[in-house]
């Protein structure tokens, strides 16, 4: 009898469920890349190539620039930073959190099962004299795709966090690279400042000697003393800047900021020209833009979920229980199988559900605006870095000429000193001029390297190193 009742109820439920599944609807279609770009950047004319790109190279993604630089110390620091940086640990925790949320929402696809049991006695006033157990299961039929939309939205958001982590990794790599090279450049600037101070000391000695023999005034001595004080101040400033940069490098790597000494003080050579790709490819490559696109798709699914919340919810339940009762001399027991269908219809919510739909639609508009903001910022970062690199290349070439001329001038003065035409003052003054020109030249080389890293970061590379690190 019990099995017959259960079978009959299951048959009815299966017929109803089949009808429900045939009538149910799926979530809306995913947003296409072209659709996102057209709506988010409507009115923005994307050129066929970057304005600052006059190289004529075949477009491709720069993914191996770290290998091209051939800087072992840099690679070691990057791997250490990716493993110990607080920012990277925070993103790893966010990814774990988002994955757990997806798994929690996934559980809505499966029935929930629960059990209760009771043992009672008839002794005393509080005794019920009943005992038994009940095992029940419930499942919401995802008739309109609400649970699917909720699940898919969480999955898109989790994927977006992964891309945001990759974007943060790229920023960390770029900042660490620029900081390391800045520290190396500052070590050179410190040596130059010390050489200038030494020339200022020698020049002061020459002026004092000339004052003793009556061919230099007190004003000349004071001027030489002031120049020496300024040179010594420049040395202290360079030393402090160098130490601060080493401390900043420690922080990026995830160390205590003690100013860890560098293994190498040499800057890498300036890389050759490279292929920068098409502006349109940038929107399909940069991880922060890919994350923004996923956020958009998640917003679409949130709208689906909000819309389906206005529709009836149908749930299925089944259970089996056994109850025993013992009162005085009467003793009974009964089995209690059950199978049911529930219907939850939101008849009146004072417009709350409609307003939630509007809220979700506003969130999607905001996601489109955020995508446009990130995309335009990406274009600007590439164009700015290309412009500044080109500018510094031109300036560096001119500074190279100026430095070469000053070196020739110093050589000429040294020859004149040998034949007695001039004394050591002119030599020391020219040495300071040469060192000043060298300082500007070294700074220009650093700026070219920094702008090259800015270009690589803006283009969304290097992907290869990050993929290796993930494995």
- Regarding whether 336 and 232 lie in a shared domain, the answer is no
Burial of 168 (0-12, 13-18, 19+ CB in 10 A): middle
- The number of domains in the chain is 2
Is 31 in contact with 294 (CB distance < 8 Å)? no
Q: Could you give phi then psi for residue 314, rounded to 5 degrees?
A: -120, 135
Tokens 């199978």, residue? 339
Residue entry with tokens 């300071």: 432
Asked if residue 137 and residue 73 are part of one domain, the reply reads no
Q: Does a structural domain hold residue 14?
A: no
Q: Phi and psi at residue 398, in whole multiples of 5°?
A: -70, -40
Give me the pLDDT at residue 18, please. Answer: 47
Residues facing 417 on adjacent strands? none
pLDDT of 295 reads 94
Q: What is the pLDDT of residue 103?
A: 77
Q: Which of 327, 345, 363 is the last residue of a domain?
A: 345
Helix (H) or strand (E) holding 135: strand 130-141
- Residues 246, 336 within the same domain: no
- In 3D space, the residue among 32, 21, 31 whose CA is nearest the CA of residue 145 turns out to be 21
User: Cα–Cα distance between 307 and 298 in angstroms, integer?
Assistant: 14
Residues 288 and 169 in one domain: yes
pLDDT at position 112, please? 76
Which pLDDT belongs to residue 203?
A: 92
Residue 136 maps to a domain: yes
Sign of CA dihedral 218, 222, 223, 228: positive
- Are residues 338 and 375 both part of a single domain? no
What is the residue range of 322's domain? 117-141+313-345
Domain presence at residue 6: no
Contacts of 460 by beta carbon, 8 Å cutoff, 6+ apart = 61, 170, 282, 285, 286, 287
* Within a domain: 358: yes
User: Which of 323, 345, 367 is the C-terminal boundary of a domain?
Assistant: 345
| 181 CB neighbour count, 10 Å cutoff | 21
Rounded average pLDDT per 10-residue block, the chain, 471 residues: 45 48 60 88 85 54 66 91 83 79 71 72 54 77 84 89 88 92 96 95 91 89 94 96 96 93 89 64 84 93 90 83 61 66 84 92 95 93 90 94 96 91 88 95 94 86 47 42
3-state secondary structure of 136: strand
Residue 332 lies in a domain: yes
Verify cis geometry, omega within 30 degrees of 0, for the bond prior to 467. Answer: no
DSSP for 285-351 reads T-HHHHHHHHHHHHHHHHHHHHHHTTS-EEEEEEEEEEEEEEETTEEEEEE--EEEEEEE-----TT
Residue with tokens 């149908």: 314
pLDDT (0 to 100) of residue 261: 94
Q: Is the same domain home to 59 and 151?
A: yes
Instruction: Show which of 345, 362, 391 is a domain's final residue.
Output: 345
Where are the alpha helices (H) located in 107-253, listed in sequence order?
Answer: 146-212, 218-253
Shared domain check, 351 and 225: yes
In terms of domains, do 463 and 352 share one?
yes
- Using DSSP, state whether 177 is helix, strand or coil: helix
Residue 27 located in a structural domain: no
> Does residue 407 share a domain with residue 384?
yes
Q: Is residue 173 part of a domain?
A: yes
For residue 213, give the CATH number of its domain: 1.20.1600.10
Q: Where are the alpha helices (DSSP H) in 24-137?
A: 33-40, 65-69, 72-84, 86-106
Two tokens at 102? 């997806």
- 136 and 275 together in one domain: no
* Measured distance CA(292)–CA(297) in Å, rounded: 9
Burial class (CB in 10 A: 0-12, 13-18, 19+), 337: middle
The interaxial angle of helices 218-253 and 72-84, nearest 10 deg, is: 50
Whether 411 is covered by a domain: the verdict is yes
Nearby residues of 286 by Cβ (< 8 Å), 6 or more positions away: 167, 378, 458, 459, 460
Q: Do residues 368 and 435 share a domain?
A: yes
Same domain, yes or no: 448 and 339: no
């Amino acid at each position: 009898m019990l099995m017959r009742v259960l079978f009959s109820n299951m048959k009815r439920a299966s017929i109803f469920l089949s009808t429900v599944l045939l009538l149910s609807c799926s979530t809306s279609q995913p947003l296409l890349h072209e659709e996102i770009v057209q709506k988010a950047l409507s009115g923005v004319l994307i050129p066929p190539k970057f304005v600052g790109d006059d190289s004529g190279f075949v477009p491709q993604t720069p993914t191996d620039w770290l290998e091209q630089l051939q800087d072992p110390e840099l690679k070691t620091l990057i791997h250490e930073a990716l493993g110990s940086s607080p920012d990277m640990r925070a993103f790893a925790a966010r990814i774990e959190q988002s994955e757990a949320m997806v798994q929690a929402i996934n559980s809505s696809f499966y029935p929930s099962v629960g059990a209760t049991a009771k043992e009672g006695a008839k002794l005393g006033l509080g005794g019920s004299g009943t005992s038994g157990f009940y095992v029940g299961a419930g499942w919401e039929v995802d008739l309109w795709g609400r649970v699917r939309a909720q699940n898919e939205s969480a999955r898109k958001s989790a994927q977006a966090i992964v891309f945001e982590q990759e974007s943060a990794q790229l920023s960390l790599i770029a900042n660490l690279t620029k900081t390391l090279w800045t520290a190396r450049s500052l070590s050179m600037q410190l040596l130059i400042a010390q050489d200038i101070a030494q020339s200022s000391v020698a020049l002061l000695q020459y002026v004092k000697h000339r004052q003793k023999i009556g061919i230099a005034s007190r004003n000349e001595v004071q001027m030489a003393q002031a120049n020496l004080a300024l040179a010594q101040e420049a040395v202290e400033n360079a030393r402090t800047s160098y130490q601060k940069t080493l401390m900043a490098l420690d922080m990026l790597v995830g160390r205590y900021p003690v100013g860890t000494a560098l293994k190498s003080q040499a800057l890498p050579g300036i890389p050759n020209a490279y292929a920068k790709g098409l502006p349109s490819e940038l929107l399909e490559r940069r991880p922060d833009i890919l994350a923004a696109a996923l956020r958009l798709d998640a917003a679409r699914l949130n709208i689906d979920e909000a819309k389906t919340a206005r529709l009836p919810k149908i749930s299925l339940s089944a259970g089996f229980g056994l109850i025993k009762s013992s009162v005085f001399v009467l003793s009974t027991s009964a089995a209690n199988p059950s199978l049911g269908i529930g219907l939850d219809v939101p008849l009146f919510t004072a417009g709350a559900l409609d307003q939630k739909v509007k809220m979700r639609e506003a969130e999607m508009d905001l996601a489109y605006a955020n995508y446009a903001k990130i995309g335009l910022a990406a274009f600007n970062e590439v164009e700015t870095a290309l412009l500044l690199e080109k500018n510094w290349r031109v300036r560096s070439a001119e500074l190279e000429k100026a430095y070469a001329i000053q070196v020739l001038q110093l050589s000429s003065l040294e020859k004149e000193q040998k034949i007695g035409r001039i004394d050591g003052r002119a030599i020391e003054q020219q040495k300071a001029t040469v060192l000043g020109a060298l300082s500007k030249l070294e700074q220009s080389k650093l700026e070219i390297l920094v702008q090259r890293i800015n270009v690589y970061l803006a283009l969304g590379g290097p992907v290869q190193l990050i993929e290796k690190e993930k494995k």
